A and B are shown apart, each in its own frame.
Chain A
Amino acid sequence: MAGVATSNRQRSRIAPYLMILPALAYLAVFYAVPFVSLFRTSLSTMGGSIYLPTLTFAWDFGNYGQALSEYRDQILRSFGYAFAATVLCLLLAFPLAYVIAFKAGRYKNLLLGLVILPFFVTFLIRTIAWKTILADNGWVVSVLDTLHLLPPEGRLLSTSWAVIGGLTYNWIIFMILPLYVSLEKIDARLLEASKDLYATNRRMFGKVILPLAVPGVLAGSLLVFIPSVGDFINADYLGSTKTTMIGNVIQKQFLVIKDYPVAAALSFVLMALILAGVLLYTKALGTEDLV
C-alpha cells in the first residue's frame, strides 16, 4: 500500500494550488489582463478614424507628459480633496468607534447596525440626496446664512466643501469599521494595568490605546483615501465647474474625447501616485498589520 500513501502525499501537496486556482484565474482574467492592456494603451499612438480607432503600441511616453502637464491642477485637487476627506473621516470616526468599542455595552450591535444601515441605499442615491439637503433654498443654507457661516460663494452645493463633505460621508464607513475592529481587539487588562500604574486617562489614551489602534488608522485611511482620489460621482453631483477631479477627467477622456492613450496614461499616473503615497504612509506609521 506504499504507493497509495505516496500519491496521497503528492495530492495534498497539489491541493493548495488547486484551491487557489479559481482565485488566480479570476485575477489573471479580470486584473492582470486589463492591467497589461491598459498599460499598452497608455504607450500607444492612435491612428485610423476616431470612430474606429486603431491603437499602435509604440512606447509613446508623450502620453504621460501630456497627461501630467494638462491635468496637473485636477490631480493636485483630487489629492487635496481626498486628504481632507480622510482627515475628516478619521476625526469623526475615531470617537464613534471608540464609543462603540468601549462604552456601548449591549447597544454595540445596534450602533454598528446603524452605522451600516445607510449603505443599504445605493451610492448614487445617497449622493443625490445631499443635493436636496444642501440646496440653495434649503434650511441648512438659510441657517448657516443667519449665522454668517456660509462660504464666500454664498452657497454650499456646488462648492469644494460639498465635494469634500460628500467624499467624507460616502467613505466614512470604511474608516469606522477597521477602527472599531482594532479598538475592540485591545485587551482590557492592558488598560487596567495602565490604571494600576497611575496613568491618567489622557496618558492611557496616548500610550496604550492610540498605538494599538494604529493598524486600524492605517487600514481606514487607505480604504478612504484610495477610492476618494479616483472618485468622480461626488464632484459631478455636488461640485461645480471649479471642483473637477481627476476621475472626471479620466471619464471624459475615455467616453467623450475618446483619447484612450491619454486616459490610460492618466490612470497609470494616478495609480503610481497613490502607490507612492501609500508606501510612504505605511512606512511612516511603521506597521505592517492591517487591522
Chain B
Amino acid sequence: MASGLDPRDPRFRAQLASRRRFIGGGAAAAAAMILGPSFLAACSSGEKSSSGTSAAPSAPEDDGSPASGKLRVSNWPLYMADGFVAAFQTATGLTVDYKEDFNDNEEWFAKNKEPLSRKQDIGADLVVPSEFMASRLISLGWLNPISEARWTNKKNLRSDLADAKADPSRKFTAPYMSGMVGIAYNRAVVGRDLTKIDDMWDPAFKGKVSLLSDMRDGLGMFLMSQGQSPEDPSTEGVQKAVDVIREQKDKGQIRRFTGNDYADDLAAGNIVVAQAYSGDVVQLQKDNPDLMFVIPESGSSTFVDTMVIPYTTQNQKAAEEWINYIYDRANYAKLVDATRFVPVLTDMTDELTKISPELASNPLINPSTETLAKLKSWAPLSDEQAQEFSKIYADVTGG
C-alpha cells in the first residue's frame, strides 16, 4: 500500500467533503457559472462599443508585385459557375479556397462581428454581402479599399451602379450580381397581363397573393407606388406603403409573407400572384413557361450583392485579382449563365450571345435600359431607420 490513495491517510480524509460542504460548494460553482458569462458579456460588450466606430482603414502597402499564394473566398451557395474557380487558378497561378458558407447577411454578421471588431481573421479574404450589409461594414470601418491599379476592369461596371450612396465611386465594394424585385404571375391562370401594383388587388386573386417578408425587398415597390423612393426613404413614406399592404392583408387578399419559398406555392398554384425575385422566376420558367415577371409601372427595387475585402484579409492583392478577373466580360458571362441574375457589367449582350442567344434575349437576365431606369436601390439606412422600418413592416407581416 505504497500508493498515495490510502484512505486512512488524514490528508485524503480531509478531502472527502461532508454533505453540507458538497452542496454548498455546488451552489457556489453554479452561481459562478451563472454570473460568469454575464460578467464576460458585460466586459466584451463594453469593448465592442468602443471599437465600433474606428477610422476607415487604409489598404496594406502595395509594392506592385504580382499576387501570389492562397485566396479564401466566402460566397453564397449556387452563386458560381462550374469550372470558374479552376480557370481563375490556371490564369493567375493563385490557389483558391472557395467556400459557399454565406447564407444570410444578418446571420453572417452575427457570427463574424466579434472577431471583426477585434480585427481577428474570419477565415475569408473576400466575402459577398448584399449592398446594405457592405455599407454597414464600411461605416464600421471593417473593409479595405480596393486598389484601382489592380481593378483595371472597373470601367466595365454599369454606370447606374458606379456611384452608389452606399459607397460613392465604389471605393470599397465591387458589385457581383444584381437582381430585380417584381411581380410574378401565372399568365394561364390570370388570363391577362398585369402591369401595375393595383392589378395585384383584383378580387379574383383574393387569398392568392404573396409578398416578401424582407423589409427592403417587400417595401420597395410599394414605396414607389406611393410616390416615395427607397433611395430617400422617410418614416411617413414607409408608413404609407405599409398602410397599403395592411389594407389588403385585412381584406384577406394577401395569403402569406414569404422568403424564397413563394416559389413552391407559385408552382403548386396556391399562389397566383407573387412578389418575386427575377432570378427565381428564370429558374421556375423552365418548368412553367406560363410564368411571367413584370416590373410594375410605378417602379420597383433592385438589390446588389457586392464583393468586399475585410480589413482582416490575409491576401489583399489576390482578392483584387479575383475581382478584376470577374470584371472581364467574357469571364463574367459564365457567371451570369450559371446564376441567371442580372449582370452588373455593361454591354453584356455580345458575350452572353456567345454562350446562348436565349440568355441575351431574356429580359429577366439582360433587362432593357428602360426597365433598369424603373429600378431603384435602397439608400443605406441609419441604425435607427433600419430598426424603425423593420419594426413597422414586421407589425404588418407578423400580426
Contacts and interface: CB of A to CB of B under 8 A. Distances in A.
Interface of A: 3-4, 7, 10-11, 13-14, 17, 21, 24, 28-29, 32-33, 36-37, 40, 48-55, 73-74, 131-132, 135-137, 153-155, 157-158, 239-242, 244, 248-249, 252, 255-259
Contacts, number: 127
Contact of B26 (A24, A132, A239): A24
A51 B397 contact: no
A17 B29 CA distance: 14
Contacts of A137: 268-270
Interface string B27-42: 0011001100110010
A32 B30 contact: yes
A52 B49 contact: yes
Nearest to A3: B8
Contacts of B113: 51-52
B20 to A, nearest CB: 11
A49 B52 contact: yes
A13 B136 CA distance: 59
A257 B394 contact: yes
A241 B37 contact: no
A51 B394 contact: no
Contacts of B140: 51
Contact of A256 (B34, B249, B256, B394): B394
B12 to A, nearest CB: 9
Nearest to B258: A236
A241 B256 contact: yes
Contacts of A29: 33
A68 to B, nearest CB: 15
Given A7-B8, A17-B22, A49-B52, 18 more contacts: A3-B7, A14-B16, A14-B22, A24-B26, A32-B33, A49-B49, A52-B48, A135-B268, A135-B269, A136-B268, A137-B268, A137-B270, A158-B207, A158-B270, A239-B256, A252-B397, A258-B390, A259-B391
Given A4-B7, A14-B17, A51-B113, A248 B48 contact: no
A32 B257 CA distance: 36
B16 A73 contact: no
Contact of A48 (B52, B106, B265): B52
A38 to B, nearest CB: 11
A34 B265 CA distance: 38
13 contacts: A7-B7, A17-B26, A32-B33, A37-B37, A37-B38, A48-B49, A49-B49, A50-B383, A51-B383, A74-B399, A131-B268, A241-B256, A248-B398
B362 interface: no
Query: Which 7 A-B residue pairings sit nearest by Cβ, starting from the closest?
Result: A7-B7, A137-B269, A50-B383, A28-B30, A54-B45, A52-B48, A48-B49
B394 A32 contact: no
B363 interface: no
B390 A241 contact: no
Contact of A40 (B38, B48, B268, B387): B38
Given A7-B13, A33-B37, A257-B394, A244 B117 contact: no
B203 to A, nearest CB: 12
Given A11-B16, A17-B22, A158 B256 contact: yes
B252 interface: yes
A32 B22 CA distance: 19
Contacts of A155: 207, 270
Contacts of B384: 50
Nearest to A158: B255
A241 B397 contact: yes
Contacts of B7: 3-4, 7
A49 B398 contact: no
B264 interface: yes
Nearest to A134: B270
Contacts of A242: 249, 252
A37 B264 CA distance: 39
A136 B23 CA distance: 61
A187 B140 CA distance: 71
Contacts of A36: 34, 38
A17 B18 CA distance: 11
Contacts of A244: 398-399
A192 B238 CA distance: 72
Contacts of B66: none
Contacts of A11: 16
Contact of A17 (B19, B49, B399): B19
A240 B255 contact: yes
Given A3-B7, A256-B394, A257-B391, A240 B256 contact: yes
A257 B49 contact: no
B256 A257 contact: no
A241 B254 contact: yes
B201 interface: no
B244 interface: no
B56 interface: no
Interface in B85-135: 106, 109, 113, 117
Nearest to B399: A244
Contacts of B188: none
B46 interface: yes
Contacts of A33: 33-34, 37
Contacts of B109: 51
Contacts of A257: 387, 390-391, 394
A176 B207 CA distance: 36
Most buried by A among B140, B257, B265, B387: B387
A161 B136 CA distance: 43
Contacts of B208: 136
Contacts of A52: 45, 48-49, 52, 113, 117
Contacts of A255: 106
A152 B176 CA distance: 47
B386 interface: yes
A21 B29 CA distance: 12
A123 to B, nearest CB: 16
A7 B398 contact: no
A248 to B, nearest CB: 6
Contacts of B215: 256
